Chain A
């Protein structure tokens, strides 16, 4: 446990970061699932343009989600430096 001096600023930083990252990653991943399912539905309705757009949105959401995970990994690794 690496400990910094406990200040209101530290506490606020932890709370804001955890809320943003936790809710952000769930929102992004939920969007991936929504887009994948909706794109599948649109393809079955033979609306290929809309299905393609929905797939692109899903890939972007996945990229955002992976970026958050990679950032988390960088934080874990950089602790040791």
Chain B
């Protein structure tokens, strides 16, 4: 593999990490911002720092992102590139639609689609997909929903007759802790995915010996920085959906949703059960809302979110498969990924320039 292709894959992986950060900021901060536990910029900065720190804590996940789901032989550099670009595209689409979908599922969907396109259906391990993705995706939001539902009922029972101002201030303070724990665990889990992808590419390129895989320090720093910067950039559209559009949240509901989410994530990590932070937090928010009054949850918004969760894996897979086919049509090797990589950068620049012009040029009649 050429060094140029390795550079393309590394930069694409860091770009995915950045989108992962800004897409998932909502998981940790939406409830805190919605209940005014922290000012928006403080909440996002706090989350960015803890995501950055979290990415340094664990390296165990780094080599396991695709294991058991896609065969090792199928995970070539071009497949990884197509998977990353497909996942980035899906993250950007769901961000545009303000839908909190799982970045992990987008990446796994991308790997599945690109590997299928490259090696056929035999490259996919169906049992791994069911055990590691589909079952956890069904169980984790239901679990968080139930825990948040029971927690908020208990909280209302304990503090229901106390002074509302004191109760709100207390739970807002508690949210700083629960939000911090969520950010840290998110950094620990999601920072590893990019490290894993870059490390796999370095192994494939011969930069790291396959029999002694160690994640290089520069990979850890680069991945943590991309995730931290992405978190700080903040996907405000998704923060608004999770924090304000599903339910109108009070501080006790915010605390219950975040605590339920943190408990589910940590329990799952302890047992090695892979779950998505996005599914858990949004399930918790719905549970905390439904416990107060079922009609307090905007079920139309919740339904759209659940549909996005169901569509994420196949949609990212289809996009990654199409990208893999395009790399082959453009000549395979370095040329295909390089052309698509350049096209992706130009598209992002074009969108940024158009947005800037839209801000500068006043609308007709205004």
Min CB–CB distance B175 → chain A (angstroms): 10
Task: With a 10 A CB-CB cut-off, give which of B54, B148, B158, B185 has the most chain A CB atoms.
Answer: B158
Which residues 264-292 of B have a CB within 8 angstroms of A?
264, 266-274
In the complex, A26 has a CB within 8 A of chain B: yes
> Is the Cβ of A72 less than 8 Å from the Cβ of B181?
yes
Contacts of B148 in A (CB 8 A): 22
Given A26-B155, A80-B60, decide whether A6 and B188 contact each other with a Cβ distance below 8 A.
no
Instruction: Of the listed stretches B221-229, B253-261, B322-330, name the one at the interface; the rest are far from the partner chain.
Output: B253-261
Min CB–CB distance A65 → chain B (angstroms): 8
> Is the Cβ of B131 less than 8 Å from the Cβ of A19?
no
Which residues 14-43 of A have a CB within 8 angstroms of B?
14-15, 17-19, 21-23, 25-27, 29-34, 36-38, 40
> Is the Cβ of A33 less than 8 Å from the Cβ of B171?
yes
Instruction: Name which residue of chain A comes closest to B284, CB basis.
Output: A22
Contacts of B59 in A (CB 8 A): 80
Given A22-B259, A76-B188, decide whether A33 and B143 contact each other with a Cβ distance below 8 A.
no
Contacts of B30 in A (CB 8 A): none
Given A1-B64, A11-B273, A72-B262, decide whether A26 and B58 contact each other with a Cβ distance below 8 A.
no
In the complex, B184 has a CB within 8 A of chain A: yes
Contacts of B132 in A (CB 8 A): 1, 3, 6
> Is the Cβ of B256 less than 8 Å from the Cβ of A26?
yes
Given A14-B267, A19-B147, A33-B167, decide whether A4 and B162 contact each other with a Cβ distance below 8 A.
no
> Is the Cβ of A25 less than 8 Å from the Cβ of B271?
no
> Is the Cβ of B267 less than 8 Å from the Cβ of A21?
yes
Given A3-B68, A36-B166, decide whether A18 and B267 contact each other with a Cβ distance below 8 A.
yes
In the complex, B233 has a CB within 8 A of chain A: no
> Is the Cβ of A76 less than 8 Å from the Cβ of B174?
no
Min CB–CB distance B17 → chain A (angstroms): 15
* Chain B: interface residue total (CB-CB under 8 A): 59
Instruction: Name which residue of chain B comes closest to A38, CB basis.
Output: B162
CA separation between A33 and B155, bound complex, in Å?
Answer: 10
Q: Which of A1, A11, A31, A36 contacts B139 (CB 8 A)?
A: A11
> Is the Cβ of A26 less than 8 Å from the Cβ of B61?
no
Q: Which of B57, B147, B167, B272 contacts A80 (CB 8 A)?
A: B57
> Is the Cβ of A79 less than 8 Å from the Cβ of B147?
no
In the complex, B118 has a CB within 8 A of chain A: no
> Is the Cβ of B61 less than 8 Å from the Cβ of A2?
yes
Given A17-B267, A26-B255, A75-B269, decide whether A1 and B147 contact each other with a Cβ distance below 8 A.
no
29 pairs across A/B with beta carbons < 8 Å? A1-B61, A2-B60, A2-B274, A3-B128, A3-B132, A3-B272, A3-B273, A4-B271, A10-B273, A14-B273, A15-B143, A17-B267, A17-B271, A18-B264, A18-B267, A18-B268, A22-B259, A23-B154, A26-B155, A26-B256, A29-B171, A30-B154, A30-B159, A30-B252, A32-B170, A33-B166, A34-B159, A37-B167, A37-B170
Interface residues of B (CB under 8 A from A): 54, 57-61, 64-65, 68, 104, 128, 131-132, 135, 139, 143-144, 146-148, 150-152, 154-155, 158-159, 162-163, 166-167, 170-171, 174, 177-178, 181, 184-185, 188-189, 193, 252, 255-256, 259-260, 262-264, 266-274
Q: A19-B146, A77-B58 are in contact. List 17 more A-B contacts (CB 8 A).
A: A1-B61, A1-B65, A2-B269, A3-B64, A3-B273, A6-B132, A13-B270, A18-B144, A18-B260, A19-B150, A21-B266, A22-B147, A22-B151, A22-B259, A25-B178, A33-B159, A76-B184
Interface residues of A (CB under 8 A from B): 1-6, 10-11, 13-15, 17-19, 21-23, 25-27, 29-34, 36-38, 40, 69, 72-73, 75-77, 79-81
